[in-house]
Amino acid sequence: MYARIVRFTDVDPDHLAARLAEVESEGSPVDTPSRGIQVLHDAQQRTAVVIQLFETADDMAAAEGPLDAMDPAETPGTRVSVDRGEIVAPLKVELS
């Protein structure tokens, strides 16, 4: 499994909520072979981190162009960094 991690600043909480609602009702604005997505939001700092999951490195590479070409209005805020990598330790902690 591979992950593409994108950090955003200048995230308006209302804009983010609207974007997430739109994605839930209409699907992703970009067609990619993503296996999942997680969004972390810090309303006080007005930042967000979006983690996109892909089955293979080729799937992640195929998504790069469409994701990079997204209209900024379709993103949570100002994109400041993009990291990519293989998930090498998918650990889960079980609470007792």
CA distance 2 to 60: 7
User: Where residue 54 sits, what CATH number does that domain have?
Assistant: 3.30.70.100
Could you tell me if residue 20 is inside a domain?
yes
Tens of pLDDT, residues 51-83:
999 999 999 999 999 988 888 888 889 999 999
Could you tell me if residue 90 is inside a domain?
no
Helix (H, G, I), strand (E, B) or coil at 10: coil
Amino acid 92: pLDDT: 82
Which range marks the domain in which residue 77 is found? 2-84
Structure tokens at 25: 């009702």
Amino acid 29: pLDDT: 67
8-state DSSP, 17: H
**For the chain, how long is the longest CA-to-CA vector?**
45
Q: Indicate the pTM of the whole model.
A: 0.86
Could you tell me if residue 96 is inside a domain?
no
- Mean per-residue pLDDT of the chain: 90
Tens of pLDDT, residues 26-36:
877 677 888 98
Total tally of structural domains belonging to the chain: 1
